[in-house]
Structure 1
Amino acid sequence: MTDESESVTVSGPGDDGAETPKVSRKDRRKGGAKKQRPFWQELPMLIGFAAIIVALLVTFIGRPYVIPSQSMEPTLHGCSGCTGDRIYVEKLSYYFGDPKPGDVVVFVGPTDDWNKHYKSIRSSNTVVRGVQNVLSWFGLVPPDENDLVKRVIATGGQTVKCCDAQGRILVQDSPNGPWKALDEPYVKFNSPFNPAQPDVPFNAGGRAFGPVTVPKGNLWVMGDNRAESADSRYHMKDELQGTVPVKDVRGKAVFKIWPPSRIGPVSEHDPQTN
């Protein structure tokens, strides 16, 4: 007896009695099912898709940065030769509004005065430099720019100066408005202050600076470590009077992601709210 367990007979109304060809189920499966590629062939496509997703996240959502100096101590830890904090900087917040007082922001140096000590981190070898540039799109290599991290103290239209009788920074919202003293619990290291000589300039060992009126669309930024931060105060002689255009802000520092002992949110206390 012929075993037809792997075949079927296809027939229909009006069958004229002619023999109907038999179709193998194996043949049907071969014709109807798409052959799956080996994993080693699909792997490059998966890596490519993953790379595109990472590049989009780095470009539009946020990326990690390393803190290289002590200018934001103790909020953010960093120093030459030590393990600096790794922070995550998100971009979404500033798609819907500008930075606010108290935000810790990463920005690119806006003028030559900010960038005069910056040295490119790219290789002099053309091929290696090209690879580094590509890897930077995916967040695997830092961008070749002078990225800085500071806290927003005053925003466009406000006037800022130092100091009052307690050595505090003062901000004025409008030319004829009252001056308000800032509440800055995040500042642990500052220059000495002598109430008998409140006008000693910061570059002479004191705290006094300004007044400076921040242009619309710009920010006045300072490091939490006031004694060791080359911030807006140090660049008041440039064309922007030390202020930073909002367009040069790369994002908002929101979380410390490394090392484990430092993991946690980044303080964003608004100093103008008492």
Structure 2
Amino acid sequence: MTDQDAAPASHETPARRSPEGRRGPVASFLRETVIILLSAIVLSWLVKTFLAQAFFIPSASMHDTLLEGDRVLVSKLAPGPLDIHRGDVVVFADPGGWLDQQAVPETNAFQDALIAIGLMPQQSEDHLIKRVIGVAGDRVASTGDGSPLTVNGVPVDESEYLAPGASPSEIAFDVVVPSGSVWVMGDNRQSSADSRFHLGEPGGGSVPVDDVVGTAFVKLWPVDRIGLLRNPGDVFADVPEPA
């Protein structure tokens, strides 16, 4: 077959993808990324609102259980589906005047947004964290001389969680916890402005359960302090139910 008989070579140029076609995978990737981010934000907000929330510890009132700078995760199932018990470590909103004298960390708008959706620990600017010593109906008392507290007439040994060298209480008091409230104290008693310092206020120093955000159940940060916060139930094992 001569060159003249050969089929003419094709000079057709391959079809080029339109700019819209080239953008297709990129647009799809961006769309999926946005959906994933929005889903993560919504999920984080739902978890923070209904299940658990992280908090930052700003003060020394809970030494050595919790130190300044610790991050804790708080379950919002108690109060709610679950009850609050003696020995629980709880986070609660300021009942009024408890934080007047306490310096609180400042945050910017970006940090406030992260806190709102649950991606950053609450800075505790209007919350406190203490241990529940008495629940509704309990009679909690101290002679103020370093002797053990009594709950419903039974002395309790708090050495399991009190800060080294801390006295059970240097303030004398004798209270009955009102209905719908809890009596709270810090583990570092001599550095904790807790229920004892609000005896003359409405509620007699007790905190309304409605102000309780939840119970702290795990330390998240720093790494060398990660661990569960267990309720020392044996401390109150012999305490009878309130009359």
Mapping for residues 124-139 of structure 1, pairs under 5 Å? 129=109, 132-139=111-118
Q: Sort the Cα spacing of 1:97 and 1:265 in 2 relative to 1 into closer, same or farther, 3 A.
A: same
Give the whole-Å Cα distance in 1 for the aligned partners of 2:58 and 2:138.
30
Are 2:241 and 1:267 equivalent residues in the alignment?
A: no
Mapping for residues 1-274 of structure 1, pairs under 5 Å? 38-78=28-68, 84-111=69-96, 113-117=97-101, 129=109, 132-141=111-120, 142=122, 145-163=125-143, 167-172=147-152, 179-184=153-158, 185-190=160-165, 207-270=170-233, 271-274=235-238
Q: Which aligned segments of 4 or more residues in structure 1 are displaced greater than 4 angstroms?
A: 118-123, 190-193
Give the whole-Å Cα distance in 1 for the aligned partners of 2:38 and 2:102.
34
Q: What per-residue deviation string (whole Å, max 9, x for no partner) do you get for residues 136-182 of structure 1?
A: 2212353674111100000111111113987000112xxxxxx1111
Q: What per-residue deviation string (whole Å, max 9, x for no partner) do you get for residues 184-235 of structure 1?
A: 1211345569xxxxxxxx6xxxx24211111001000001111111111111
Amino acid at match of 1:183: D
Amino acid at match of 1:223: G
RMSD (Å) for aligned C-alpha atoms: 2.5
Give the whole-Å Cα distance in 2 for the aligned partners of 1:269 and 1:146.
27
TM-score (norm 2): 0.77
Consecutive unaligned residues of structure 2, counting only runs of 5 or more, are 1-23, 239-243
Larger Rg: 1
Compare 160-169 and 180-189 and name the one that shifted more: 160-169
State percent identity of aligned pairs.
36
Give the total of aligned pairs.
Answer: 211
Aligned residues of 1:74 and 1:188 also touching (Cα < 8 A): yes
Aligned residues of 1:159 and 1:171 also touching (Cα < 8 A): yes
Give the whole-Å Cα distance in 2 for the aligned partners of 1:42 and 1:147.
38
Tell me by how many angstroms 1:94 deviates. Answer: 2.5
Q: What per-residue deviation string (whole Å, max 9, x for no partner) do you get for residues 105-145 of structure 1?
A: 1111111x21322567666xxxx64x554332212353674
Query: Aligned with 1:92: secondary structure?
Result: coil
Tell me by how many angstroms 1:183 deviates. Answer: 2.2
Give the whole-Å Cα distance in 2 for the aligned partners of 1:104 and 1:162.
20
Tell me by how many angstroms 1:269 deviates. Answer: 0.6
